[in-house]
Amino acid sequence: MSERHRLRSLFSLVLLNGLIPIRTQPLYLVNLLASPLSFLFFIDVISKGTLISYGITGGLILTMLSAGTGLQTDLTHYRHDLKFQDVVVASPVEAPVYVAGMALSELVYSLPGIAVFVALFIANGLATPEAALVVAGVLVLVWGFATALAFTLATYFEDVRETFMFSPLISLLLTVLPPVYYPLAYLPAWAQLVARFSPTTYAANLVQGVAIHGQSISPAAAALDWGVLGAVTAALFLVAAFKARWKEP
Amino acid sequence: MTLAIEADHLGKVYPHSASGVAALSDVSLAVPTGGVYGLIGRNGAGKTTFIRIAATQLTPTSGTARVLGLDVQGDERAIRARIACVPQESRPLYFLRTEEVVYLYLKMRGLPSADARRRTKEALDELSLTEHRTRLVSRLSGGTRRRVLCAMVLASDADVMFLDEPTTGLDPLARREVWQAIRRASREHRTILLTTHYLDEAEALSGRLALVERGRVVLEGSPADLRARIRHPYRVTIRGAIPRSELDGFGDVSEIEGGFLVFAQEEAARELARRALERGAKLSMGPVSLEDIFLEVVGRAIDDDNGAEEKALEESA
């Protein structure tokens, strides 16, 4: 398959799973905005506005994470209920092109959420050039590892209902327990240790460090955060490449 | 000559099969390039398992399979560039319009827009779907959705097409339209591997057939070959004038509403027909149908659904 063919496949998948469903049901666009905005609302009310910056940076991370993990429901539904994955497998479309197309289509749903949180990010004075670069890099990695995780899981689920069970669990492990919406220091020592096992802890450290604390994060700490986040993303891509079941065993 | 599909002692036991029953066992087949090849068998016989292995969707447990001379375990990418498949129980994405299902599938396969648009229009016309062109799939009947999937694959540029029960749920007229489209594709030197449990469909379309039962190929060849290989290739229906006792020597006799059905060899069938006409009995005579062949070889009708254990195996995988 030539690069031109791959691009055609990619854009067809973005149309098919992103733009066209939104034309049919525009409320899809609100779906991925609801949870991060709800968190932001609670945090703002409860902290009397003192933690609004954490709510905004957390909202950005959660929106991108949801764009990635949300893929597991679509992919499982298409694979089991519509047999769409079988149609695609028996075609020139390669697995990475399928995953990339579907992941980009999920990102389309996240655009309103990203737009709202970027606007809030700028309006609250968090958007220095350095912060913008760091946030963009972190969000790409978060979206990447969430997509790889979602694709791998979707090829193992036997029923779409299993994704309903896993989604809150993933949300708990990646966004509630890790300090996405609050400073790591707020957690008790044991919870800080547990949070260190989640890649979103490192994502939040980087974003909060550069956007909220200015230069308070040391280069060594930043390097560690980037290293762990990058390694987790690479590891999950490798797992997806070698363990996801594109062809049934 | 390169074969379109070639299986050599192919076997499949699903990983979670508690009983260890093979869904496919020692299957060897040679599907020639061009034309329609029918796989017939009861539900759960192993047809879908075979198609899924050949379409590179499923890994075999033993044996080898090649598509267009390429190994299904190692040359998947090259095979996939040249095949298309309508899986059993598949449904088009319900939020798309009918024409979008076909068009986007063709674009996904890498066709340029103008080519995809032209092929989409032709396929929708061919399968009488033009009136549904802009309707959402979710608003179409089950049979029409199935036709949309057939249009999608038959419009493609694939050299080998796998159609797994493509006409299930279609009314007789719609089935005939799908048959026409399949015949058109086969005239364009495409190879179509068709599974069906409609024996009239298999007989009407297939140049060659394989009869699959409990994961094994029990009979293979052209419809004429299959008839030649069974004991009694002719069927004679007689109503009135001749008692059962006079029929037994001609072949296998069974009682039907108002008379008897006799399966016999050609000479015996002619002799029986001559006698029946002399005695003024009502008579019909002809070569056996595929259904008769199936019944004789398998010992059960094709819609006898006791293949449940293999079906369960396929579904659990």
Per-residue tens of pLDDT for chain A, all 249 residues: 788 899 999 999 999 999 999 888 888 887 777 878 888 899 889 989 888 999 999 999 999 999 999 899 999 999 999 999 999 999 999 999 999 999 999 999 899 999 999 999 999 888 888 899 999 999 999 999 999 999 999 999 989 999 988 888 888 889 888 999 888 889 999 999 999 999 999 999 999 988 887 756 788 889 999 999 999 999 999 999 999 999 888
Q: Which residue of B has its CA nearest to A13?
A: B108
Distances (CA, A) of A215 to A207, A208, A239, B249: 11, 10, 35, 103
Last residue of one domain, picked from the residues B169, B198, B224: B224
How many whole angstroms from its chain centre is CA B69? 22
Q: Which residue of A has its CA nearest to B88?
A: A83
Of the candidates A4, A86, A93, the beta carbon closest to that of B90 is on: A86
Query: Is A37 a member of any domain?
Result: yes
Same domain, yes or no, for B254 and B129? Answer: no
User: Distance, in angstroms, between B107 CA and closest chain A CA?
Assistant: 6
CB B113 within 8 A of CB B106: no
Residue B32, number of CB atoms within 10 A of its CB: 15
pTM, to two decimals:
0.89
For chain B, the domain total comes to: 2
Domain, as residue range, for A8: 3-243
- All residues of chain B having their beta carbon less than 8 Å from the beta carbon of residue A84 are 90, 93
Q: How far apart are CA A144 and CA A68, in angstroms?
A: 7
CB B72 within 8 A of CB B65: yes
Query: Is A249 a member of any domain?
Result: no
Residue B89, token pair as written in the block: 């129980």
Same domain, yes or no, for B124 and B259? Answer: no
CB B314 within 8 A of CB B48: yes
- The answer to whether ipTM exceeds 0.85 is yes
Contact A5 B110 (CB under 8 A): yes
Domain, as residue range, for B129: 5-224
Contacts 24+ apart (CB under 8 A), B16-22: B16/B316, B16/B317, B17/B313, B17/B316, B17/B317, B19/B309, B21/B215, B21/B309, B21/B310, B21/B313, B22/B61, B22/B215
How many whole angstroms from its chain centre is CA B29? 15
Query: With bands split at pLDDT 50, 70 and 90, how would you rate the model's confidence at B316?
Result: very low
Query: Is A248 a member of any domain?
Result: no
Q: Which residue of A has its CA nearest to B57?
A: A247
Name every residue whose Cβ is closer than 8 Å to that of residue A115 and which is 6 or more positions away in sequence: none
Same domain, yes or no, for B167 and B239? Answer: no
Contacts 24+ apart (CB under 8 A), A36-41: A36/A60, A36/A62, A36/A63, A36/A66, A36/A113, A36/A117, A37/A113, A37/A116, A39/A181, A40/A120
Q: Which residue of B has its CA nearest to A3?
A: B110
For chain A, the domain total comes to: 1
- All residues of chain B having their beta carbon less than 8 Å from the beta carbon of residue A4 are 110
Same domain, yes or no, for B133 and B81? Answer: yes
Antiparallel, parallel or unpaired: β B160-164 and B191-196:
parallel
Query: What is the SS3 assignment for B241?
Result: coil
Same domain, yes or no, for B203 and B255? Answer: no
**Distance separating the N- and C-terminal Cα atoms of chain A:** 25
Same domain, yes or no, for B199 and B249? Answer: no
Contact B56 A90 (CB under 8 A): yes
Classify residue B132 by its DSSP letter: G
Q: At B17, which amino acid appears?
A: S
Query: Is A81 a member of any domain?
Result: yes
- All residues of chain A having their beta carbon less than 8 Å from the beta carbon of residue B93 are 16-17, 78, 82, 84
Distances (CA, A) of A30 to A102, A122, A151, B103: 19, 21, 23, 28
Query: Is B47 a member of any domain?
Result: yes
